[in-house]
Amino acid sequence: MVLLSLFINKEGFSQSSLAAPQQHYLKLNKEYFRSCLTDAGKIAVAPLHWNGRQWAGFAGVAGATGLAYWQDETIRDYFQRNRTEAKDNIAKYGIAPLGTYYLVPIIGGMYLYGVAAKNAGAETAGLLAGEAVILTGAYTMLFKMIFQRQRPSEGNPPDPDNWEGPLGGFRHGSFPSGHTALAFATAATISTYYHDKKWVGIVSYTLAALVGVSRVYSDDHWASDVVAGAALGYSIGRLVTHRQQTSQTVSINPYSNGFATGISFTVNL
């Protein structure tokens, strides 16, 4: 964002200056909901506009998912051999909800704090995280219905190769992992928005990764489901945040610095 100020100083000379970038904040209004719909469409057609670097990233994700798929049974067996009642409770009540129920108070609390404390940054971060979670949830459900992969806990014996596809009756929803996708969408959004605070990214991604591990540990997902879910949530979270930061806005405001008065044009480029 660039602030261009045009003013007349006390000696009568017209001048212009470039000021430091300013942050563009969000409000819960019709523009916010309109941007959510716009972002949903952008996500759908994003592959049509990818460059070589982005396609290389997609290939990397596909390769990592394929590698995990190759080892799905081995990874599952390892976790199931090392389960205990204490770890079961930690995974079920302490970690897994970070990808679902706990997101409501976390994101909602961030937004409400921003409103109550007049902290526009926290308010915007909460709204961005909320959008990322909603869009990630929608696309995750779409992919689940398309692939119809059987969860490991549903098979007897568990079969990582059971993919019934869109004609399977919508009975299975293992791929991709929804908990993991939502956790990574939140982590990507918050860490990208607060990119100047390294600890935010470390904490956010660590918790998101633990959510993914808990889903494999609890036998609710295969490892490849988690890898795909993490990539999906991360991508949507980053896209939502970057689109907000690069959206173009123009505002005109009065300007005065003690020796000059005039108007300022604020352009978010």
User: 27-45+61-240 sits in which CATH class?
Assistant: mainly alpha
pLDDT digit string, tens, across residues 21-42: 446 788 888 999 998 999 999 9
| Domain layout of the chain by residue ranges | 1-24+247-269, 27-45+61-240
Question: pTM value?
Answer: 0.82
pLDDT digit string, tens, across residues 160-219: 999 998 887 788 999 999 999 999 999 999 999 999 999 999 999 999 999 999 999 999
3-class SS letters over the chain? CEEEEEEEECCCCEEEEEECCCCCCCCCCHHHHHHHHHHHHHHHHHHHHCCHHHHHHHHHHHHHHHHHHHCHHHHHHHHHHCCCHHHHHHHHHHHHHHHCCCHHHHHHHHHHHHHHCCCHHHHHHHHHHHHHHHHHHHHHHHHHHHHCECCHHHCCCCCCCCECCCCCCCCCCCCCCHHHHHHHHHHHHHHHHCCCCHHHHHHHHHHHHHHHHHHHHCCCCCHHHHHHHHHHHHHHHHHHHHHHHHCCEEEEEEEECCCEEEEEEEEEC
What value does the mean pLDDT take over residues 139-150? 96
pLDDT band at 265 (very low <50, low <70, confident <90, very high): very low
**Per-residue confidence (pLDDT) for residue 251, from 0 to 100:** 45
